[in-house]
Every structure is written in structure tokens, then in C-alpha cells.
């Protein structure tokens, strides 16, 4: 290689790697964390389908490169789920997602809360104050981003969560919700679907 800039970058990388200030702590926890970090780095070179498969998601699921799934082993996920850029699905408290659901860019789903740890001035790693609640999102849902779904919430099937919403309470099947806190805006019934198809000239696909 005769590009001096490239050569300089390589030399710099080598110097940083061999510096004593670059230290790694070798415990069971750090080994686990490092494995996650390395997987995420390697996943940058993967396609959306490969990334989903690496996370153990079923057929047809796609995960964009900057999405994050926390504790994927606690995620029970249906087929054909799409997770957009910068979406965060926290499955640490147990997360169930039905098939054909989309998490749009920046959607945030939480199954844990650290508020008590902060108020107790005890938010060290491994503190006992973290609240975890199983959270469920149905099939055929569209979760607009950047919305937040709170821990413990159950969202039914065929629900639209409009962008910028905060879903703090359970949501029944077949509704559109929006706002903070999210409120039901309308039913998603066959009439609404027919009108929406017509408005968007999608009738010919049926």
C-alpha cells in the first residue's frame, strides 16, 4: 500500500490498540456484553433479512442496520415483522410481537423502567430497583416512530400507533391511536380500509 494517509490511519489504529490506556475487563458479564457489541458491528455488513435471522427472528422478518433489540432471547416474534432504523425493542422484561407488524423508524418499545433506581440514588449496574413488565403487541400493527410504548402495555391486533405517540395504556384491536398519552382516534374497520385504499389508488391490487 503506498497511500500515506491510509498507512497513517493503520499506524494510528495499531498505536491505540497497543496503548496501555485501552483496557478490557474480563468477567462473565463483560464477555457477554462484548459478544453483543461485536455481533452488532458485524451485523452492519449484513442484509436486513440476515440481521433478523442472526437475532433468531422467524422467516420474513427484517431488521434495519441501526435498530437495536435488547435481550433478543426474551422476544417472541411472529413472521414478517419489520424493524426500522433506530427503533429500539427492549425485550428485557419479556416482549411478544405478532406477525406482519412494523416498527417504523425510531419507534421505542420498553419493557423495563429504571425510575426507582434513579430516585433511590442507586442506579449502579445490577441494582435491585429495575421494574420489568411483559409487553405485548399484536399482529398487523403499524407502530409509527418516534413513538414510545410503555412497559406492561398490551396493544391488540391491527392497530395504528400514529407517529410521536406515547402509549401508556392497553389498546384494543382495530383502532388508530395517537397523541401523548395516546387516545383512540378512530376504528380501523373495513370502511376505513376501503376509503384509504381508494384515496391512495390501491383498489386495483385487490
Ligand X SMILES: CC(C)(COP(=O)(O)OP(=O)(O)OC[C@H]1O[C@@H](n2cnc3c(N)ncnc32)[C@H](O)[C@@H]1OP(=O)(O)O)[C@@H](O)C(=O)NCCC(=O)NCCS
Report the interface residues with ligand X, using CB under 6 A. Answer: 84, 104-105, 144, 160, 162-165, 178-179, 185-186
Q: 135 and 95 in contact (C-beta within 8 Å)?
A: yes
Nearer to ligand X, 55 or 104 (CB): 104
Q: How far apart are CA 179 and CA 161, in angstroms?
A: 9
Q: How far is the CB of 183 from ligand X (least distance, A)?
A: 9
Q: How far is the CB of 185 from ligand X (least distance, A)?
A: 5
Nearer to ligand X, 143 or 153 (CB): 143
Cβ partners under 8 Å of residue 104, min gap 6 = 84, 87, 142, 143, 144, 145, 163
Residues in the chain: 206
Q: How far is the CB of 84 from ligand X (least distance, A)?
A: 5
Nearer to ligand X, 134 or 163 (CB): 163
Nearer to ligand X, 89 or 113 (CB): 89
Q: How far is the CB of 182 from ligand X (least distance, A)?
A: 8
Tell me the CA distances in angstroms from 41 to 34, 52, 70, 190, one per residue in order: 10, 14, 15, 43
Cβ partners under 8 Å of residue 154, min gap 6 = 135, 136, 137, 170, 171
Nearer to ligand X, 99 or 165 (CB): 165
Q: How far is the CB of 195 from ligand X (least distance, A)?
A: 8
Nearest to 58 by CA among 41, 75, 45: 75
By beta carbon distance, the residue nearest ligand X is 178
Amino acid at each position: 500500500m503506498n497511500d500515506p494517509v491510509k498507512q497513517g490511519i493503520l499506524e494510528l489504529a495499531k498505536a491505540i490498540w497497543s496503548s496501555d490506556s485501552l483496557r478490557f475487563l474480563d468477567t462473565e458479564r463483560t464477555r457477554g456484553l462484548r459478544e453483543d457489541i461485536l455481533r452488532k458491528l458485524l451485523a452492519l455488513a449484513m442484509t436486513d433479512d440476515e440481521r433478523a435471522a442472526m437475532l433468531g427472528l422467524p422467516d420474513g422478518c427484517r431488521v434495519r442496520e441501526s435498530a437495536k433489540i435488547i435481550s433478543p432471547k426474551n422476544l417472541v416474534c411472529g413472521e414478517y415483522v419489520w424493524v426500522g432504523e433506530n427503533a429500539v425493542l427492549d425485550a428485557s422484561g419479556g416482549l411478544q410481537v405478532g406477525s406482519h407488524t412494523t416498527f417504523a423508524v425510531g419507534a421505542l418499545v420498553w419493557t423495563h423502567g429504571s425510575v426507582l433506581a434513579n430516585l433511590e440514588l442507586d442506579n449502579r449496574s445490577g441494582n435491585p430497583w429495575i421494574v420489568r413488565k411483559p409487553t405485548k403487541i399484536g399482529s398487523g400493527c403499524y407502530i409509527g416512530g418516534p413513538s414510545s410504548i410503555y412497559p406492561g402495555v398490551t396493544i391488540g391486533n391491527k392497530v395504528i400507533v400514529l407517529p410521536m405517540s406515547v402509549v401508556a395504556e392497553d389498546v384494543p384491536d382495530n383502532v388508530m391511536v395517537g397523541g401523548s398519552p395516546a387516545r383512540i382516534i378512530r376504528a380501523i374497520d373495513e370502511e376505513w380500509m376501503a376509503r384509504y385504499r381508494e384515496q391512495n389508488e390501491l383498489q386495483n391490487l385487490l
